[in-house]
Amino acid sequence: MGLNPEFREEREWDFEKRRLAPEMEKRLRKALESKKGVFADIVLCPNRSCGTPLKVEILEDVVQVSCSACGFTRLIQGTD
């Protein structure tokens, strides 16, 4: 068997770690547009072994998400 599920999962995990799922980004962009407060429950840390709800902060024109557990952070622009 040439398959190596663990390796594959690690690659996918690595991908997700670098880039939030597009759907998540969409939601966060919407949050930014509506300038509503905190959305701690809509995004979980993309680190699968972590899964902590990310802290979401709406700044001037970006959404900053950060994980207090593993240190993951990402800035999401409101417009492309």
Residue 31 touching Zn ion (CB under 5 A): no
Q: How far is the CB of 66 from Zn ion (least distance, A)?
A: 9
Q: How far is the CB of 28 from Zn ion (least distance, A)?
A: 16
Which residues face 55 on adjacent strands? 66
Residue 66 touching Zn ion (CB under 5 A): no
Q: b vs e for 33-60, b when ≥16 Cβ sit within 10 Å of the residue's Cβ?
A: eeeeeebeeebbbbbeeeeebbbbebee
Residue 56 touching Zn ion (CB under 5 A): no
Cα Rg, the chain, nearest whole Å: 14
Binding site for Zn ion (CB under 5 A): 45, 47, 50, 52, 67, 69-70, 72
